[in-house]
Structure formats: structure tokens, C-alpha cells
Amino acid sequence: MKVRPANNADIPRIMTVLEAAKGIMRASGNMNQWVGGYPSESVVRDDIAKGNGYVVEDGPVVGYFAFIASPEPTYAKIYEGEWLDDLRPYHVIHRIGSTPDSHGVFAAIMDYCFAQDPNIRIDTHRDNLIMQHNILRHGFSYCGIIFLESGDERLAYQRCP
């Protein structure tokens, strides 16, 4: 698998991948994450314009994610816990999605991101058991709860050296 920066020509395929990811979520019982049209094409376009959007290719594009340098405003306050390292800069991974028949996309994303920065934070919905499993399997530690700008709760994790 190859990870590369996304470009505007990738957007139709990225949106297909993200819709497929929503299907995976719904099939596993996660009915409340990525609702109301999120992530929208405008969110993906913004990721790409800022240099934060990436695709995973295995032949065709099979995955998408945003990789964003700190600070992440919604991570300024964490509840019922604390960050492992709250002093050094970090990167955040958001909007991970893949097609249902693709295997190893999450691992490819983690390999790419940790090669760029060993201090990574990530969050997910309480109902996203698949993502929680993958996050913990790749060496992250649960740190506590953060709240999105919308007020929605997310479980927060960090992996750092």
C-alpha cells in the first residue's frame, strides 16, 4: 500500500471511500458517528487545500485520512484523564476511512504517520469499537474524554515516545 497526499482529482473516490466507511460503522452498530453529511466534500477539500488530506492506494484509492499538526483546539481540555505528553508538539489523525474489502489500511496509515512524528493523538466515538480496537492494537494509550466543537463526546488516545 502507498500513502500519498490527496489532490482534488481524488475527491470523487475519497467520497466513495468515506461512504463505504460509514457503511462499515453502521453494520457494526455505530449509528451515531459521521452523521448529517459529515465528513462532507467541503471538509475533504479543506483538508487537501491545507495539505492535511492523504489517500491510501492499493491499486485504486482504498483509504483516506487527515493528518494535522498541533494544536488541535478540541484537545485543549481533556476530562477523566490526561494526555501522556502535554508539552511537545504532536500530530492528530482524523477522518480515517477505508473500503470494506481492504485490509491493512489502518496499519499503512499508522506506519506513515509515525514515520513523520512519533507523538500522535487520535480520538473516536464511544460506539466505534472497530476503531478503538485498532487504536489500542497500534500502541496508543487511552487518555480520557474530549468534546468536539459540536459538544459530542469522543474517546481520546495518544502514542508518544
What is the C-alpha to C-alpha distance for residues 109 and 128, in angstroms, rounded to an integer? Answer: 18
DSSP per-residue codes, 32-53: SSS-TTPSPHHHHHHHHHTT-E
Which of the following CATH numbers is that of domain 2-159: 3.20.20.80, 3.10.330.10, 3.40.50.300, 3.40.630.30?
Answer: 3.40.630.30
State CA 42 to chain mean position distance.
Answer: 17
**What's the pLDDT at 80?**
98
Q: Return all residues near 58 (Cβ < 8 A) that are at least 6 apart.
A: 1, 2, 102, 104, 105
Task: Report pLDDT digits (tens) over 94-138.
Answer: 999 999 999 999 999 999 999 999 999 999 999 999 999 999 999
**What's the pLDDT at 100?**
95
Verify cis geometry, omega within 30 degrees of 0, for the bond prior to 161.
no
pTM value?
0.96
Q: How many CB atoms lie within 10 A of CB 59?
A: 7
**What's the pLDDT at 3?**
98
| 105 contacts 116 by C-beta, under 8 angstroms | no
**What's the pLDDT at 156?**
98
User: What does the domain layout of the chain look like in residue ranges?
Assistant: 2-159
Q: How many CB atoms lie within 10 A of CB 74?
A: 17
Within the chain, which residues score under 70 in pLDDT?
Answer: none
